[in-house]
Amino acid sequence: MKVSVIRARCEGHGLCEDAAPDLFRVDDDGELVSLFDEEQPVPEEFRDQAVKAVRVCPIAALSVTDRPA
């Protein structure tokens, strides 16, 4: 699974950080920081967090793409 971030859309609400603390942080300037390499698949152990983060984003700045194993 890959999580894509549309940074221009992100408004820094921080709901993704609450939903996926192992994957995201919002810095002091309100900018989203990925705690994983966005070019690589999200580790399987964080799959539930990633899906939840996408669901709670109020402006749809995140999306998930499933990739075959």
pLDDT of residue 67: 62
Number of domains in the chain: 1
pTM exceeding the 0.75 threshold for the entire prediction: yes
pLDDT tens series, the chain, 69 aa: 999 999 999 999 999 999 999 999 999 998 999 998 888 899 999 999 999 999 999 999 999 998 655
CATH code of the domain in which 35 resides: 3.30.70.20
pLDDT of residue 39: 85
| Containing structural domain, residue 47 | 2-65
pLDDT of residue 38: 82
Closest residue by Cα to residue 31 from 63, 53, 8, 49: 8
**Residues whose CB is less than 8 angstroms from the CB of residue 40 and which lie 6 or more positions away in sequence, other chains included:** 2
